[in-house]
Structure 1
């Protein structure tokens, strides 16, 4: 994610209470006995450890005239526990539910503030595959979660849902945590004069009802819930010619964008295939089946690494083109989407590396080396709160600005300490290969850094990730020996501002 500096908002939410009161149910209510979350320390009630999802098949209809969303989601999952008949399992969900089937049998359910509790009607042994079909009908723009957030954004033209760390619950029931990835089949019926955009590849557009069209999207690679988006409205499509049969590209721009902003956005978004190719050559092969980008003013103050097709607010392009944000969001396809956090304490693995890839893009284009950018950020760091612990920012804001700024400086410090780019980039590539399509913790990266370099990086990362206060030395002076003597900060003059700086930090300091 990348956010505007002045919009220090957060989509992180307060930990919701477990469901006990019924808002809707079929016959009877579900027990709350087995509704503990997946185990995230920041959001202990989010997700479920009872099952693992392999596929979401989402079949919806959206009517812009009323804002009503209706349809079904079929969830294919495997039981991770012994789920005997009468056991309750939870799905993260907010919308009014009409019915629930498990293995084609009606299931009792209770819809609470942030959780749909469902009573399993049949015995499910550990490892057993089962399907859950949830039918629902609601107006998502009127629905808020336990923290008061309304992440479904709507106007007269359509709707948009794209947010981090939580967005799925406004449009489909899920196991809403990065550790439970799944494939997706998304089918949405909308008025024929509206477009429907999502992740993956659009497999077909059909018209079976006069005045309406159904758009079908397919994501074949494992995908997190928050990396899945839905945009319904009027868009100008482009960029298809830049793709290949093996990796199609599709960009889209809301038709109500200011013409100058749209032109600025195009000058950067249309470079997505080129940027992805560069990232793949620097890292490892691109992990997904498609590329692209969507620009929409309704995004608010941020851009998001929705899988295969990042979503951007128009604000990034008000000053002109902005290749840096395109690099950042597409770097997340590796750092964040392919390798995802094990818990929401591990966000540095996403944001620090995506930000550092911007530094490397600048280095490639001679608009400032990574070392120059890092040292300038260190010298002019009035916007950085050096007391934020990057390995545990806390649930109030799991994606603070410091994950991006100080987070990238930590990576430059590591690169400087290694002092051998062959070793540094081998570490990055081995990291991306080992944990591809999986999840990892910050400690996993530190362990790999120790193994690949043959040195202990523990002290270095303690200084740059966990110690409170500004480090006593700039990133390019970093060594593996944290006790090494340094020149006083005052003895180091402020370096010249890199050419790319305004794209990186003057307008925007945060990315998702």
Structure 2
């Protein structure tokens, strides 16, 4: 995510096995936890299973602001499950089926959907959950963390989920550590366009409606999923096997040339970043610009979204560079817990510094010195980078101190070792979730240097570090 700043997910395979009642009765079935264990958001996510795929069929009527959905979720039981939870906020559930059979369900709390299948699920069992639901999805506002979820626009809607908006429009295991693949089939009035993550598959008109299909083939955390519905000017291009989809809200009166300029900028930045960080981790790219009034751009996987009110009609280089850097840092390699978000934002911000250096503008060292010059009472020094607290995950501390920490590591290791380390880190954990402790250990092992002092000073201690 980019926010205004003061300074300027091995596939398991299992079959459904019919077990005699006498043997099944001896199994110790227990409920999955109603939370994923993140101290910042203890009720987000759920335990007892691992989602492998979300198949989402959505139909949206913009005039009525009404959503009808069917989510087919494929998962693996991580324990002998008597029941399990999904996250779903606000919408009305019509039915829930597990393995094709009707299941009991109940709602509780802010977003808990508790599902009890007709029979227990055995450890390692692959199962499907189908939830039919409908209603008027809504955004979720949190004063320190901004607005996320289903955000209505003048002609449609855009779903932005960071940190907890996914449950506003589909049933989900809403934790960054449970990555899955996705397919989307979105039905809208035929005069509108429906965009989503990943590869464009097809558009088929049925009467006055059109079904738009998309596929995200690589694992994705729920906070990075996205749907955008509206009257868009769209440019689709393909180069070197990489599909690019660029879309501007038609109300912005974007010309074809502007779309081409944005598409070219995206490809230029990705080509440069691929040299720094290794192969681009996805099969599609692009970007979406719309009027959203959320005050940020977001690194939705493979296709970032920019709020026109923040980025302008043509997003500037630093925003494009930042959100595309997130495709490696945050989207491909994702912190399992929110306290480690500096691994996303610090590296993405530092990539802006590298872009400046690449273009003959201020060097990364000059950017570092400028950020470091903030007085000891400045916000950038308030809090602990490696554990900033729930309400501070999008603070200047995470972005600017995060970037300064990356630069301090570069200076400690030297350019050759530093950039090889970054590429090795991204290659080793591609499609996986990570922690600060893992990065610390990886950096030490790769470089052969003891880095405890550096991490203690920059990551684990509050206040302005001494140089």
- Same fold flag (TM > 0.5): yes
Report what 1:189 is aligned to. Answer: 187
**SS of the counterpart of 1:271?**
helix
- For 1:483-498, list aligned pairs within 5 A: none
Is contact 1:96-1:138 (8 Å) kept? Answer: yes
What count of residue pairs does the alignment treat as equivalent?
A: 441
**SS of the counterpart of 2:252?**
coil
Report what 2:51 is aligned to. Answer: 53
- For 1:334-413, list aligned pairs within 5 A: 334-380=328-374, 384-413=379-408
Is contact 1:265-1:322 (8 Å) kept? Answer: no
How many angstroms does 1:58 deviate by? 0.3
Cα 1:259/1:71, change in 2 over 3 Å: closer
Is contact 2:304-2:324 (8 Å) kept? Answer: yes
Report what 1:134 is aligned to. Answer: 131
Cα 1:47/1:280, change in 2 over 3 Å: same
Report what 2:286 is aligned to. Answer: 292
Higher relative contact order (CA 8 A, sep 6+): 1
Report what 1:42 is aligned to. Answer: 40
Report what 2:169 is aligned to. Answer: 171
Deviations 1:82-113, CA, capped at 9 Å, x for gaps: 01xxx221001112111000011111111232
Report what 1:324 is aligned to. Answer: 318
Provide the C-alpha distance between the structure 2 equivalents of 1:462 and 1:232, rounded to a whole number of angstroms. 46
**SS of the counterpart of 1:300?**
coil
How many angstroms does 1:383 deviate by? 5.2
Provide the C-alpha distance between the structure 2 equivalents of 1:390 and 1:76, rounded to a whole number of angstroms. 36
> Which of 68, 71, 75 pairs up with 2:69?
71
Report what 1:101 is aligned to. Answer: 97
Provide the C-alpha distance between the structure 2 equivalents of 1:279 and 1:149, rounded to a whole number of angstroms. 30
Cα 1:274/1:148, change in 2 over 3 Å: closer
Cα 1:79/1:143, change in 2 over 3 Å: same
Cα 1:318/1:155, change in 2 over 3 Å: closer
**Structure 2 residue 244 is the aligned partner of structure 1 residue 246:** no
Cα 1:322/1:49, change in 2 over 3 Å: same
Give the RMSD, CA atoms, in angstroms. Answer: 2.4
Moved over 6 A (4+): 142-150, 262-266
Provide the C-alpha distance between the structure 2 equivalents of 1:148 and 1:332, rounded to a whole number of angstroms. 19
Is contact 1:110-1:118 (8 Å) kept? Answer: yes
Cα 1:400/1:258, change in 2 over 3 Å: farther
How many angstroms does 1:388 deviate by? 1.4
Provide the C-alpha distance between the structure 1 equivalents of 2:313 and 2:97, rounded to a whole number of angstroms. 51
Cα 1:93/1:149, change in 2 over 3 Å: farther
**Structure 2 residue 199 is the aligned partner of structure 1 residue 204:** no
Unaligned runs of 5+ in 2: 7-29
- For 1:219-234, list aligned pairs within 5 A: 219-234=216-231
Report what 2:23 is aligned to. Answer: none
> Which of 109, 114, 117 pairs up with 1:117?
114
Is contact 2:146-2:294 (8 Å) kept? Answer: no
Provide the C-alpha distance between the structure 2 equivalents of 1:266 and 1:2, rounded to a whole number of angstroms. 23
Provide the C-alpha distance between the structure 1 equivalents of 2:277 and 2:399, rounded to a whole number of angstroms. 19
> Which of 453, 459, 463 pairs up with 1:459?
453
Is contact 2:162-2:223 (8 Å) kept? Answer: yes
**SS of the counterpart of 1:392?**
coil
How many angstroms does 1:334 deviate by? 0.6
Is contact 2:161-2:225 (8 Å) kept? Answer: no
**SS of the counterpart of 2:368?**
helix
Report what 2:4 is aligned to. Answer: 4
Cα 1:111/1:465, change in 2 over 3 Å: same
- For 1:16-35, list aligned pairs within 5 A: 34-35=32-33
Is contact 2:75-2:128 (8 Å) kept? Answer: yes
> Which of 471, 475, 491 pairs up with 2:465?
471
User: Quick check: which one's strand share is greater?
Assistant: 2
Is contact 2:203-2:210 (8 Å) kept? Answer: yes
How many angstroms does 1:155 deviate by? 3.0
Is contact 2:338-2:393 (8 Å) kept? Answer: yes
How many angstroms does 1:348 deviate by? 0.9
Provide the C-alpha distance between the structure 2 equivalents of 1:265 and 1:460, rounded to a whole number of angstroms. 44
Cα 1:128/1:283, change in 2 over 3 Å: same
Cα 1:33/1:190, change in 2 over 3 Å: same
